[in-house]
Amino acid sequence: MTEEKITVTFHPDDRTSYTYTLPDVVTISERTINKDLEGHSAKFLWFSSLHARLVARRDYLAGKLKGLMAEREITYRDEAELRGKKTTEASIKAMLDTDANVQQFRSYVLEAENEVNMCQVIKDSFFHQQQCLIALGANMRQEMKSLSADNIRE
d(CA 137, CA 33): 8
Residue 43 lies in a domain: yes
Residue type for position 26: V
Query: Nearest Cα to 48, choosing from 123, 130, 128, 126?
Result: 123
83 assigned to some structural domain: yes
Instruction: Give the count of domains, the chain.
Output: 1
Distance of CA 111 to the CA centre of its chain: 10
54 vs 125: CA distance, rounded Å: 17
Residue 137 located in a structural domain: no
Cis peptide before 23 (omega within 30 of 0): yes
Please give the Cα distance from 100 to 150 (Å, whole number). 74
Residue 145 within any structural domain of the chain: no
- The whole domain housing 101 covers 6-24+32-130
- 153 within some domain: no
pLDDT of residue 152: 52
Q: Taking the CA atoms of 29, 31, 32 and 33 in sequence, report the sign of the dihedral they define.
A: positive
What confidence tens digit (pLDDT) does each residue in 59-113 have? 999 999 999 999 999 999 999 999 998 889 999 999 999 999 999 999 999 999 9
CA angle 46, 117, 11 (to 5 degrees): 60
Give residue 2's pLDDT. 65
In a domain, 141, yes or no: no
Whether residue 140 is contained in a domain is answered as no
pTM of the model: 0.81
> Which residues are bridge partners to 22 per DSSP?
6
In a domain, 47, yes or no: yes
CA angle 38, 40, 8 (to 5 degrees): 135
Residue range 5-10: average pLDDT?
Answer: 95
What are the residues facing 10 on neighbouring strands?
18
